[in-house]
Structure 1
């Protein structure tokens, strides 16, 4: 499977999701949310499919308002305390290195402290622009994180390529007017509505030039 129309486009900037796209934090995330779920008396069925959304939004969707403050504080505490076995996903370091002199950013649903903790745990070298849920009025699936990342880069959102692993993140990217490249790291391929889908970032290469950034499948 190729990249379709993405192969013919020249992008002004590349905007990366973090968890599930650049780093694998799934075991840590699962441990934290499983503990939280049991503590607040929820079942896996009630948890539903909230991957890619800020934790505070997940809490608000699941619990009564009078429990929000306590529950948000607790999941933040659990996630910050568990950054074990977080690693960089295949191709992620190479992608960021290739784009070091070009416009690129991370737009994540994490808070600032959690994003910094996970980046440090994975020993990832992030781009200079990092947008977290603390920087926007609304998190994914609203377009705000990607719009803010584009704004900070001085880029037109419609000329940005978003790289995501989660349906909610892809929804946010489309709402921002961005083109989308999905990676099959946390979600089944058939559930990823994107302009192109690859296994992970090791399957593609980003090629900056004077006119912008191109993306190609690796030979």
Structure 2
């Protein structure tokens, strides 16, 4: 694919640039396998294999907690982001998950996908700026651990979304903010996403192209969510992976 006509590329982080989706999935499973048996009815206590993809992936942390709880017929107060990790509120469970994620990240470390680095290198050669657009408040930590923070001109993460009062994905607001920070019209920007909510965010905006990255065998769902192109890795857009 020829990227020269585009003005910017807006990358999701987890599952597109770094395999952090695997770490997130492990952390979510660890938390809900502890929490659900204690707060859900007997027939809703098992954390299901597709809960992450259906209810969590791409969403801000507390929204993901709320979605999983709703799917398991559990009602808890929202609480406050300052709540201590625990099981009394949505935010408390979200803070449990954050602790679990950071433990796994520090233990296992992380490396970016080779195809993503090929893409970033190619964009640099063309003089096309790129940004990270992630719902995670740990995005900068992940980028630092992966050693690629300085490869992106702008980073719109969960902290920016909170501080700027932006709606989260599937609203296009985070991607629009990234384009604004790059000084590029969104109509000239490419969105690259692996989460259904993120693809919907791209499709809900005026972006030039929405690329769905299929790492969960959900190509049809990504297309239905609004992806213009679906690939197994962003490096495939540059030709055969080496």
TM interval, short-chain normalised: 0.7 to 0.9
| CA pair 94-75 structure 1, distance change in 2 beyond 3 A | same
Larger relative contact order (CA 8 Å, sep ≥ 6): 1
Give, in whole Å, the separation in 2 of the partners of 1:164 and 1:187: 14
CA contact (8 A) 2:62 2:91 kept: no
Q: Give the equivalent residue in structure 1 for 2:46.
A: 43
Q: Give the equivalent residue in structure 2 for 1:201.
A: 234
Q: Which moved more, 1:69-78 or 1:41-50?
A: 41-50
Q: How many residue pairs are counted as aligned between the two chains?
A: 201
Q: Tell me which stretches of 4 or more aligned residues in structure 1 moved more than 6 Å.
A: none
Give, in whole Å, the separation in 2 of the partners of 1:189 and 1:138: 26
Q: Give the equivalent residue in structure 1 for 2:188.
A: 159
* 1:34 match: secondary structure: helix
Give, in whole Å, the separation in 2 of the partners of 1:40 and 1:141: 27
* 1:149 match: secondary structure: helix
Q: Give the equivalent residue in structure 1 for 2:167.
A: 138
| CA pair 176-75 structure 1, distance change in 2 beyond 3 A | same
Q: How large is the RMSD of aligned CA atoms in angstroms?
A: 2.3
Q: Give the equivalent residue in structure 2 for 1:214.
A: none
| CA pair 97-60 structure 1, distance change in 2 beyond 3 A | same
CA contact (8 A) 1:150 1:160 kept: yes
Give, in whole Å, the separation in 2 of the partners of 1:174 and 1:77: 32
| CA pair 98-77 structure 1, distance change in 2 beyond 3 A | same
Q: Give the equivalent residue in structure 1 for 2:200.
A: 171
Give, in whole Å, the separation in 2 of the partners of 1:24 and 1:8: 24
Residue 53 (str. 1) matches residue 75 (str. 2): no
CA contact (8 A) 1:15 1:106 kept: yes
TM-score by length of structure 2 reads: 0.75
Give, in whole Å, the separation in 2 of the partners of 1:133 and 1:175: 19
Greater share of strand: 1
Residue from 74, 77, 100 that aligns with 1:65: 77
CA contact (8 A) 1:18 1:107 kept: yes
TM-score by length of structure 1 reads: 0.82
Q: Give the equivalent residue in structure 2 for 1:212.
A: none
Q: Give the equivalent residue in structure 2 for 1:102.
A: 128
Tell me, which stretches of 5 or more residues in structure 1 are unaligned? 206-216
Larger radius of gyration: 2
CA contact (8 A) 1:162 1:173 kept: yes
Q: Give the equivalent residue in structure 2 for 1:181.
A: 211
| CA pair 187-152 structure 1, distance change in 2 beyond 3 A | farther
Residue 191 (str. 1) matches residue 221 (str. 2): yes
Q: Give the equivalent residue in structure 2 for 1:117.
A: 141
Q: Give the equivalent residue in structure 2 for 1:210.
A: none
Residue from 57, 66, 78 that aligns with 2:100: 78
| CA pair 69-51 structure 1, distance change in 2 beyond 3 A | closer
